[in-house]
Structure formats: C-alpha cells, structure tokens
Amino acid sequence: MTIPSPTSIPSVDRTAPLLLFDSGVGGLSVLRKVRMALPQAPVIYVADNAGLPYGAKTEAQIAARVSGLLGRLTERLAPRLVCIACNTASTIALASVREVLEVPIVGTVPAIKPAAAMTKTGVIGLLGTEATIRQSYVDRLEAEFAADKRLLRHGAPELVAAAEAKLRGDAVDAQVYARAAAALRSQPGGEAIDTVVLACTHFPLIQEELSAAFGPGVSFIDGSDGIARRIAFLTQGQAWDRREPDLALFTRGESEVNRLEAALEAHGLGRIATF
C-alpha cells in the first residue's frame, strides 16, 4: 500500500477563479455576498444574455443551454468551483450539470426553509420566474419545509426586466413592483403574507422597490447568504491569487452591456468581454 505524501495531494491553482453563472445581472446579488465572504477570490462572472430570459424557456431548452455553456466555460476557464447563481437554471439543470462536470458546483435553491422558520402568520409569498415556480424541485422544498404553512407563488418576468433596467440606470415604472405585490396579495390568504422568498437572483437587486410595494411588516429572504457560506466552506484552506481585475463575460455583445459598466465595476468586475 502506498501512503500518499503531503506533496501528492492535488492542490488548487491559486489563480483559478470562482465562476458565477446567470442569465443576466441577477447573479450579482450572489456575487455581493461571495465578495464579503471571500474578498481575495478571483472571480469570472458569466451572464448568458443571449439566452435571457430563462424564465420564459422550456425545461429542455434551459437544461441544454446551461449544460452546454457550462461545459465549454469550465473547459476554457478552468475554474476551481462553479456557482449557478440562478434559481431557474439550478432548479432545472443542477443535477444534470453535476453529472457531467468534475468541478464542484454550487446551485441556488429557493429559500423556503428559512422563510418557513421566519413567518409568524404562516403565509409565505414566493416570487420567481415562470419556469422556477412550476418546478417539482419547489414542490419538494414546500413539502419538506413548509407543509404546515401556506406558500403562494407568482411568476414575475417583469421583475427580471426591471432589475436589468435598474442596473443599466434606466427608470422603471413603480407599477411593475405594485403588480407583483398585488399578484401575491390577491391570492387566497395573501393578505397575511409576512415573508417573501426572492426565488430569482435578480430580485434582491430590486428588494427596496419590492419592499415599498408590499408595505411594512413584510420580510424578504433569498439564498445568497447560504451560497456564500457554502462556497467558503468548499474552498476552505485554498490559496487565492488575483493577478488582474475580475472579468464579466457576456454571451452576446450588445450596446446594453456597455451601459452595465458602472454596476459591474461596483461589484468588482473591472473587465468586460464576450464569450
């Protein structure tokens, strides 16, 4: 029997980045928390803006797109860990992506468990994309953690567009937020909602606006803190070395991308390129 010497334990390349993936700017809400946990980590942020919005696509389209892209991205960029910073992609494609990629993958799970622990009234609202709210993954989380609560769901594609617009610096009509709040409030029991799960990574970027639309007495919860903790745990003890400004990659070069420059810079992404 050969006993491995310490030098034979594979070590991670200290310059290898974390790769965060979303359809658009939503994953920046996750990146924000990852930065707090691991300020020294080099990051490549990938926005599949050519595929945005995922929420309007079929399960088959999303699964094919996400696995294909992540396969090419990991081959080309050799990240030490991939975070699918998108609820839609995670609830649909996480298992199949994990099957084909060797790199550790952290997904984004709708924060139903902490919401169930937080609610006093027992009525929880869940805002996600149309694709996310119909997933059996969400049904399972509801059955496991919120069986004795009422979970009201609403698919809100308008909010994805609103978050994208906000980060470009465009004005957004406040009616967009009011409509999302009303869609949950008007469901049976909806007047008692005291906790809202932001089950789309775009939505924490517009939490202030949503909070104003729901009014006082409503708390918001999303999965980003848990993701940051999980990434810190999985990379524990690894060395980090950032040699150049972090990179934002887009799958389609378009004029809108240039207008995101300030928001990207604010999240520590100093370079923009097309993949």
Sole binder of ligand DGL in the list 23, 49, 74, 195 (CB under 6 A): 23
Least distance (Å) from ligand DGL to the CB of residue 139? Answer: 17
Residues 26/89, Cβ–Cβ less than 8 Å: no
The phi and psi torsions of 90 (rounded to 5 degrees) equal -70, -50
Structure tokens given for 144: 């496991």
Sole binder of ligand DGL in the list 28, 43, 45, 54 (CB under 6 A): 54
Q: In what order do the strands lie in the sheet with 150-155?
A: 150-155, 123-128, 195-198, 219-221
Burial class (CB in 10 A: 0-12, 13-18, 19+), 141: buried
Residue of 200, 205, 213, 227 marked catalytic: 200
Residue 183 interacting with ligand DGL (CB under 6 A): no
The phi and psi torsions of 221 (rounded to 5 degrees) equal -140, 140
Residue 86 among the catalytic residues: yes
If residue 105 lies in a helix (H) or strand (E), which one and from where to where?
strand 105-106
Nearer to ligand DGL, 203 or 214 (CB): 203
* Interface characters, 69-88, with ligand DGL (x: CB under 6 A): -----------------xxx
Residue 55 interacting with ligand DGL (CB under 6 A): yes
Q: Helix, strand or coil for residue 210?
A: helix
Residue ranges in the chain assigned as alpha helix (H): 28-37, 59-77, 87-100, 112-118, 130-133, 136-145, 157-168, 175-185, 207-214, 224-234, 255-258, 261-266
Which of the residues 192 through 211 are near ligand DGL (CB under 6 A)?
A: 200-202
Sole binder of ligand DGL in the list 18, 21, 26, 49 (CB under 6 A): 26
Sole binder of ligand DGL in the list 53, 110, 155, 268 (CB under 6 A): 53
End-to-end CA distance of the chain, in Å? 46
Nearer to ligand DGL, 21 or 214 (CB): 21
| Binding-residue total with ligand DGL (CB under 6 A) | 17
Which of the residues 114 through 153 are near ligand DGL (CB under 6 A)?
A: 129, 132
Residue 49 interacting with ligand DGL (CB under 6 A): no
Active site residues: 86, 200
What is the contact surface with ligand DGL in residues (CB under 6 A)? Answer: 22-24, 26, 52-55, 86-88, 129, 132, 160, 200-202
